[in-house]
Amino acid sequence: MKRKKTKKIMVGNVAVGGDSPITVQSMINTSTKDIQNTIKQIRKLEEAGCHIVRGAITDFEDAKAIKAIKDNTNLPFVADIQFDYKLAIAAVKNGADCLRINPGNIGSEVRVKEVVKACKEYRIPIRIGVNSGSIKKEYLNKYGGVNENSMVYSALEQIRLLENLNYYNMKISLKASSVPLTIKSYQKISDTIDYPLHLGVTEAGPAWRGTIKSAVGIGTLLSMGIGDTIRISLTGDPVEEVKVGREILRSLGLLEEGIELISCPTCGRTNIDLIRLVSKVEEELKHIKKPLKVAIMGCPVNGPGEAREADIGIAGGKGEGIIFKKGKVIKKVKEEYLIDELIKEIESL
């Protein structure tokens, strides 16, 4: 798939847009001012493969906490601001690597100028975030309610506001809880501007539903070549957001890192505890960063053939299984030793 080349910006030491890799983001659910727990959560997100983290800045104590958080973590930190321009400036001065704001929500042009001045001075970008639930009334009236036109033109107003101040260091998001609306909105904005796009389906829901909605919405856009950074919005542990985001990228060939696990559905030919094997292999191999396709198949008849594109794999039989590389059987192993032998083979690759 051919990816649209957008402008490249820097969020801390992470490039977003242009020819840089698509990045995975998440948002902490700790109170930012709870410095120790925030640091712990960011470290877990980094371990899971997160590239950029965002935190809510609700008061000056949150803003001041950014410095200590940055001193003890490695991920770029995006400060999420709702309305208070003074909080935005305080976040910038305390080390935020990016602001997430809607310029139109922070008041007069004088206030917007002050925020832009701070961002220029500290050389940090702004993410303009437009959600389907926060579109200005005039655009709802003009374009007949919440749709891709009211979403896009609402975002364009915010963009022009910053461009009129000679500020171009920005990325854009247009999130809706509706997957079709999300897709249409990003398609339209992608045809209109060349700023990097932050993809997401907002308020996607709990883990199971939210994963499906995000995979369909974000995956569709990425397959069209649209998108430079992504965030999966799940009601749950932020680490799960990172796992889902990385797997979406991996499934489209946009992330060449870590294990791609191929496993078959169980059927009447399965004479091995395949579900347990898959779960255990997934846990045992989660630390591996090298890109590998690993197959866990239920029977030796179809296993190596159906998964011949895998770098290595196992296929179960009755009380035993085979280990194969690139579709060729290399050894037979008793069921209880299959995982140990597989891991030995992987470590030798």
| 170-175/198-199 β-pairing | unpaired
What radius of gyration do the chain's Cα atoms show? 23
Q: Which residue has the tokens 């060729």?
A: 328
Nearest to 62 by CA among 41, 91, 99: 91
Q: Note whether 176 and 185 are within 8 A (CB).
A: yes
- The whole domain housing 96 covers 9-251
**Do 176 and 35 belong to one domain?**
yes
Q: Which of 207, 235, 251 is where one domain is finished? A: 251
**Do 246 and 263 belong to one domain?**
no
Burial class (CB in 10 A: 0-12, 13-18, 19+), 344: exposed
DSSP for 254-274, written as a single string: ----SEEEEEPPP-TT--S-H
Burial class (CB in 10 A: 0-12, 13-18, 19+), 54: buried
> Does 4 map to a domain?
no
Burial class (CB in 10 A: 0-12, 13-18, 19+), 104: middle
Q: How far apart are CA 315 and CA 307, in angstroms?
A: 10
pTM of the complete model: 0.87
> Does 198 map to a domain?
yes
- What is the enclosing helix (H) or strand (E) of 80? strand 77-80
**Do 168 and 272 belong to one domain?**
no
> Does 245 map to a domain?
yes
Per-residue pLDDT of the chain (349 residues; tens, 9 = 90+): 688 999 999 999 999 999 999 999 999 999 999 999 999 999 999 999 999 999 999 999 999 999 999 999 999 999 999 888 999 999 999 999 999 987 767 777 888 899 999 999 999 999 998 888 778 888 889 999 989 999 999 999 989 989 999 999 999 999 888 999 999 999 999 999 999 999 999 877 788 899 999 999 999 999 999 999 999 999 989 999 999 999 999 999 898 877 788 777 776 666 677 787 778 877 777 777 778 888 887 776 666 666 667 788 888 777 778 888 887 888 888 878 888 888 888 877 7
CB-CB neighbours of 258 under 10 Å: 18
CATH number at residue 51: 3.20.20.20
CATH number at residue 340: 3.30.413.10
**Do 226 and 297 belong to one domain?**
no
Q: DSSP class of residue 142? A: H
Q: Which of 226, 251, 276 is where one domain is finished? A: 251
Instruction: Work out the angle at residue 147's Cα, subtended by the Cα atoms of residues 144 and 151, and round it to the nearest 5 degrees.
Output: 105
Q: Which of 251, 283, 315 is where one domain is finished? A: 251
> Does 1 map to a domain?
no
If one counts the domains in the chain, the total is 2
